[in-house]
């Protein structure tokens, strides 16, 4: 207003008046639209939340009765839910290595948990996800389980790597499952009566909550891993109380479900725990209860992170990605684990929220895989492509427009030559021994009828098999483990 009065009283033809007029326009631009434009040009932050062993029982996916995830359900109302998201590998290490490195297991040779990131030349030499964001001006922060095996350059590419050790703890102090049930050491459960702070998940969440509440001078990439519902299924007792045994809805199991499958598939189903042994020991239902309790515990931890973001200084300029590294069977197909290529092992929750609530509550049914996350975030954040090739495919177009055309199938691998291909309707599995499975999910969501041997589906199999990799890298093995194996021989 002062400038306008000054200009009005001056000679409009004077040079000084013209200069002041230009200054007035510049000031108006700076304090008005210019500020908004500058805000638009800011790089978005990224909150990258990885959940461990969380299957598709979530209400907005399979929707198993009794699952209680109020925080994830509320978050879904603000995000895009990908209803056909699949892991690249159904085990922690290869799945996470592919996500972080951008290199597919069939190229890296990282297929199992004892195939180490650092022993794979393609994975080791790749520009990793945090490295690329750091190179492009981001402060990178990490807590919890994001990796399974620590890669080269870990500390270099994370500006802040504060983390509480003992992630799977506290381990069960009581023994409920008898020795008659052969199982891995972590396959146990307990309603925990101690403090919530006994859990590294709770302590790590406190670290990330403080980060999200603190203003930053540069964009950040915050990766936060939640250990639950990975076993041991210990969780505070109140979460067990939320899922009483007497009202528990058990997973659907079909008698003789494996009769139309190959010997390889039947062997996979029995590893590492026999469903029959759990049933005979009367432990199936308590273990399912413990898994449900662990899911609800995870949901509370997730809610702390999202509440801190939404109530803090970064609420309006942060992309949020939430996913599980793979799924998990709770008795379906006589399987009680990951380590397989069926729907429940490979289908994962994946939700992406853009700033300002764009496409809030939308659902996208385009098949995507977790290895696609790296290129997708590069596109969403407007970053240049990394110097090394990414094997994933950006689905940023689906985040921006969930109904956009998308005809790419999802591919999951479990060891060399064992591959599953999933489109919107079909799941095709081909094992290294040549045996096959084919399921029509429009008619058979539980995968109870293997159609692979029927003549009328030959063309379907031929079409889906085009997505199967044509070559498979030799597995890389942890040197120490390999040495121990030689000694035992």
**CA gap 97, 392 in Å, rounded:** 13
Give the number of residues written for the chain. 489
Q: Is 148 a catalytic residue?
A: yes
Catalytic residue among 116, 132, 148, 314: 148
Q: How much is the pTM?
A: 0.89
CA–centroid distance for 28 within its chain:
46
Cα separation values, 131 from 101, 102, 116, 272, Å? 10, 12, 19, 36
Crossing angle of helices 33-41 and 15-31, in 10° steps, is 50
**Cβ–Cβ < 8 Å for 317, 40:** no
Token pair recorded at residue 212: 């999200």
Task: Say how far residue 489 (Cα) sits from the centre of its chain.
Answer: 38
CA neighbor of 423 nearest in space, from 94, 86, 103: 86
pLDDT at res. 479? 55
- Measured over the CA atoms of residue 369, residue 265, residue 114 and residue 56, the dihedral's sign is positive
Closest listed residue to residue 289, CA positions, set 234, 369, 226, 351: 234
Q: What is the pLDDT of residue 41?
A: 41
Angle at 292 between CA 289 and CA 294, to 5 degrees: 110
Cα 101 from Cα 147, distance rounded (Å): 11
Burial (CB < 10 A; 0-12, 13-18, 19+), residue 469, is middle
The CATH number assigned to the domain with range 47-488 reads 3.40.720.10
- Exposed / middle / buried, residue 428 (Cβ in 10 Å: 0-12, 13-18, 19+): buried
Domain residue ranges of the chain, discontinuous segments joined by +? 2-33, 47-488
Catalytic, out of 87, 92, 364, 381:
92
**Catalytic residue check, 314:** no
What tens-digit pLDDT sequence spans the chain (489 residues)?
333 333 333 343 343 344 334 434 333 433 333 333 334 448 999 999 999 999 999 988 988 998 999 999 999 999 999 999 999 999 999 999 999 999 999 999 999 999 988 889 999 999 999 999 999 999 999 999 998 877 777 789 999 999 888 889 999 998 899 999 999 999 999 999 999 999 999 999 999 999 999 999 999 999 999 999 999 999 999 999 999 999 999 999 999 999 999 999 999 999 999 999 999 999 999 999 999 999 999 999 999 999 999 999 999 999 999 999 999 999 999 999 999 999 999 999 999 999 987 899 999 999 999 999 999 999 999 999 999 999 999 999 999 999 999 999 999 999 999 999 999 999 999 999 999 999 999 999 999 999 999 999 999 999 999 999 999 999 998 654 443 333 333
Q: Are strands 318-324 and 45-51 parallel, antiparallel or unpaired?
A: parallel
């Amino acid at each position: 207003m002062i400038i306008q009065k000054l200009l009005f009283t001056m000679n409009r033809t004077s040079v000084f008046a013209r200069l002041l007029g230009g200054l007035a326009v510049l000031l108006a631009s700076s304090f008005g639209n210019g500020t908004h434009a500058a805000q638009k040009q800011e790089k978005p932050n990224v909150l990258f939340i990885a959940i461990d062993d969380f299957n598709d029982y979530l209400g907005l996916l399979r929707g198993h009765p009794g699952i209680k995830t109020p925080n994830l359900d509320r978050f879904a109302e603000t995000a895009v839910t990908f209803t056909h998201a699949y892991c690249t590998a159904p085990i922690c290490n290869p799945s996470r290595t592919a996500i972080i490195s951008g290199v597919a297991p069939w190229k890296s040779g990282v297929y199992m948990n004892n195939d180490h990131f650092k022993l794979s030349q393609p994975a080791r030499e790749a520009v990793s996800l945090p490295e690329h964001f750091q190179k492009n001006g981001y402060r990178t922060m990490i807590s919890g389980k994001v990796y399974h095996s620590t890669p080269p350059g870990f500390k270099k590419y994370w500006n802040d790597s504060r983390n509480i050790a003992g992630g799977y703890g506290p381990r069960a102090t009581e023994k409920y499952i008898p020795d008659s049930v052969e199982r891995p050491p972590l396959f146990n459960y307990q309603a925990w009566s101690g403090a919530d702070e006994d859990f590294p998940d709770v302590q790590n969440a406190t670290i990330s909550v403080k980060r999200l509440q603190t203003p930053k001078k540069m964009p950040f990439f915050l990766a936060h891993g939640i250990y639950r519902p990975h076993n041991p299924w210990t969780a505070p007792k109140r979460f067990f109380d939320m899922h009483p045994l007497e009202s528990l809805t058990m997973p659907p199991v079909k008698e003789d479900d494996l009769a139309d499958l190959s010997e390889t598939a039947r062997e996979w189903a029995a590893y590492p725990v026999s469903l029959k042994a759990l049933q005979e020991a009367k432990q199936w239902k308590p273990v399912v209860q413990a898994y449900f309790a662990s899911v609800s515990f995870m949901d509370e931890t997730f809610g702390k992170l999202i509440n801190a973001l939404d109530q803090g200084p970064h609420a309006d300029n942060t992309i949020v990605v939430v996913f599980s590294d793979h799924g998990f069977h709770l008795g379906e197909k006589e399987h009680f684990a990951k380590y397989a290529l069926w729907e429940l092992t490979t289908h994962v929750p994946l939700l992406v929220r853009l700033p300002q609530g764009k496409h809030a509550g939308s659902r996208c049914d385009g098949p995507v895989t977790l290895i696609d996350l790296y290129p997708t975030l590069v596109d969403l954040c407007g970053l240049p492509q990394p110097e090394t090739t990414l094997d994933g495919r950006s689905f940023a177009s689906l985040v921006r427009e969930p109904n956009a055309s998308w005809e790419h199938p999802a591919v999951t691998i479990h060891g060399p030559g064992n591959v599953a291909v999933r489109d919107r309707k079909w799941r095709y599995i081909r094992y290294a021994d040549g045996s096959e499975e084919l399921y029509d999910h429009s008619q058979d969501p539980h995968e109870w009828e293997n159609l692979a041997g029927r003549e009328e589906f030959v063309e379907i199999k031929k079409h889906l098999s085009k997505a199967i990799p044509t070559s498979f890298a030799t597995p890389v093995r942890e040197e120490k483990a390999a040495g121990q194996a030689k000694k035992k021989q």
